[in-house]
Amino acid sequence: MHKKTIWVLLFVLASLNAQNIKTIQLRPLGENNFSSIVPLGSILKLSFDDLDADSKEYKYKIEHKTHDWKPSRLLSSQFVNGFDQNTIINVTNSFNTMQSYSHYEVKIPNINTVITKSGNYLLSVLDTYDDVIFTRKFVLYENATTVPVSVIRSRNIQTVATQQTIQFSINHPGIRINNPRQEIHVTILKNNNWNERISDLQPTFFKQNQLLYTYTNKTNFWGGNEYLNFDTKILRNKSLNIVRITKKEIYNHYLYPFTFNAFRNYTYSPDINGQFAVRTLEGNDNATEADYALMHFSLQVDEEFKEKEVYVYGAFNNFSIGEENRMSYSPKNQTYRTSILLKQGFYNYTFATLGADALVNTNEINGSFFETENEYTTIIYFKASGSLYDRVIGVGSGYFNQNR
């Protein structure tokens, strides 16, 4: 009984610790690049904030994975020069902010960790007890093939107005592929969201040094809708889609209510496909001078969604579903509401429902349209007969073009 109590307490403490970790980003250097799918040898920067602001010691750990994210057969010494686990030493405290925090950064590769193999990787951040605080996926690829990607309107009459079809080819003059059905694996990713992907695809046609994937239904994605957005680069003044601001211990920003309409039509609105960018005009350093604000989201509906939960959904929490972003319904006001603490910046978000089938539906509230501008990434894995691991030999990207 005593041991059980200890484990429960440790679990609660770990959960509270994880809740204080905010603004996790794993991205290449440079602005407006949100994808952690990069060429082998590129620099990725991991950054996050700890709202406890007590400069804890965190470590990162890197693991090589198979094409379907299972443990790889490679030893760490076979894919890393140096160490696969190290302490994050670049820690700075927030400056001149109402919400105090410690900001952590590490670049990979670095002097202690150089990754030598392409493939899928899982980056974990551990506390001093070696408990996992959070994880992020990234992919390193070789430019060994070219992968043209075409995104077209669905050819299925039943989904012609709501879905998009992805077609692509693998051009591999420099790589000998003896058995494509066993040696090649493909994953198609929508908007850099690993929750929206299609895999287990076989070529539809074979040509000299070329594999064609020209499905008409199997590679269909729901088009979805353009993401909603807001901008908090200035905390004291109302800006994009902010209707009201109050100041308490921190700033509270109230977004314009979103009204549910089951017969919504598509309207073009430029977005960044669910991502977010930290920025402030009230300081010089976005990393440590951007403050936090409590963002208030509201969704107006005629009646509550039966046997379904509603969530705010976006890259701000890695497109995940959890208590932090769950909305509560008020029958009196016919409104779903929730509040989320977010760092200053430009954010995309949408609403998602979760029913008894445990499937996340991002189209029920905001609609799905073939016109929506989405980015699709095709990842090509190659494991030759007798090889120990899945190489990533090429990556292709495509965007929907309404003129097709």
Instruction: Tell me the pLDDT tens digit for each residue of 202-241.
Output: 999 999 999 999 999 999 999 999 999 999 999 998 888 9
pLDDT of residue 157: 94
The CATH 2.60.40.10 portion of the chain extends over 2-141
pLDDT of residue 55: 87
**pLDDT (tens digit per residue) in 358-395:** 999 999 999 999 999 999 999 999 999 999 999 999 99
- The amino acid occupying position 260 is F
**Alpha helices per DSSP H over 206-355:** 286-289
Question: CATH class for domain 228-361?
Answer: mainly beta
Q: Which residues contact 208 (CB under 8 A, 6 or more apart)?
A: none
pLDDT of residue 145: 98
Question: CATH class for domain 2-141?
Answer: mainly beta
CB 171 within 8 A of CB 147: yes
pLDDT of residue 198: 98
Which residue carries 């929907």 as its tokens? 400
Buried b (16+ CB within 10 A) or exposed e, 21-52: bbbbbbbbeeeeebbbbbebebebbbbbbbbe
- The amino acid occupying position 95 is F
Strand partners, 230: 347
Q: Which residues contact 348 (CB under 8 A, 6 or more apart)?
A: 227, 228, 229, 271, 272, 273, 274, 275, 276, 314, 315
**pLDDT (tens digit per residue) in 282-300:** 999 999 999 999 999 999 9
CB 266 within 8 A of CB 224: no
- Please compute, for residue 95, the number of CA atoms within 13 A of its CA located in the half-sphere on the CB side: 11
pLDDT of residue 32: 81
pLDDT of residue 31: 78
Strand partners, 38: 140
Instruction: Classify domain 149-223+372-399 at the CATH topology level.
Output: Immunoglobulin-like (2.60.40)
Which of the 8 DSSP states describes residue 388? S
pLDDT of residue 402: 66
pTM: 0.93
- The amino acid occupying position 107 is K
* Consecutive 10-residue averages of pLDDT for the chain (404 residues): 40 51 95 93 98 95 98 97 97 97 98 98 97 98 98 95 97 95 97 96 96 96 97 91 95 97 93 96 95 98 94 97 96 96 98 94 96 97 95 96 60
Alpha carbon dihedral 296, 300, 305, 308, in 10-degree steps, equals -10
